[in-house]
Amino acid sequence: MSAELHQASPRERIVATAMDLFYRQGYKATGINQIVAEAGVAKASFYDHFPSKEDLLVAYAVEMARRDIAFIRDEAMKRPSAEERFFAPLEMLKPWFESTHYRGCPFQNVMVEAPPQATGVHEVARQHRESFRVFFQELALDLKNADPACRHIDPAAIATDYIVIFEGSIALCVAYRATWPLDQAKTMLAKALHHTPA
């Protein structure tokens, strides 16, 4: 356990440990006893904060969503042009895949394992994807205002295309254990931008 994590509250240590283990091992393969041991908390403390493992899964999803959109937004907005900012979320996936050995999207992974009755987790995942769609719409509007060649685009429609392409490329990269789907995704998105409605 790092010195920083050791200084954290029991709840923070539990969530941080779950974020690591759920992503690396999977939700079902990770038991409460392992989380308790690696977080360095008493089992009673765990249940004080999380009456069930599913409650912890919701907390994991909420924290992952918060970190995910904040990181993507912050990194994208550092790019100097509207076009670079627009494509940044896709381009950021390549080093992420390489660093995680194609483990994939935490949300796609957890939705496969989440129990059907875990409505809290499903709602967090839906809201998270919607936050991405809204951000993509902001990027498309920025591009529309900055580039005369994109004045014709509908930012809301482009954002919907973007989220489908974005999510699909992640799933394909995991399946192929390669990043070529990202190049194809960028090409498809560029075509959507420059397609002029009839």
Q: Within this chain, do residues 132 and 152 fall inside the same structural domain, yes or no?
A: yes
Q: Within this chain, do residues 39 and 62 fall inside the same structural domain, yes or no?
A: no
Q: Give per-residue burial for 126-141: e unless 16+ CB within 10 Å, then b.
A: eebeebbbebbbbbbb
Q: Within this chain, do residues 144 and 57 fall inside the same structural domain, yes or no?
A: yes
Q: Within this chain, do residues 19 and 114 fall inside the same structural domain, yes or no?
A: no
- The pTM assigned to this predicted structure is 0.88
Walk along the chain (198 residues) and give the pLDDT tens digit of each residue. 555 566 789 999 999 999 999 999 999 999 999 999 999 999 999 999 999 999 999 999 999 999 999 999 999 999 999 999 999 999 999 999 988 888 888 888 888 888 888 888 889 989 999 999 999 999 999 999 999 999 999 999 999 999 999 999 999 999 999 999 999 999 999 998 887 554
Domain of residue 43, residue span: 1-51
Q: Within this chain, do residues 187 and 91 fall inside the same structural domain, yes or no?
A: yes
CA–CA distance from 149 to each of 76, 78, 145, 196 (Å)?
A: 21, 23, 10, 10
Both tokens assigned to 65: 């969503």
Q: For position 127, which CATH number holds?
A: 1.10.357.10
∠ CA(130), CA(156), CA(92), 5° rounding?
Answer: 60
Domain count for the chain: 2
Q: For position 41, which CATH number holds?
A: 1.10.10.60
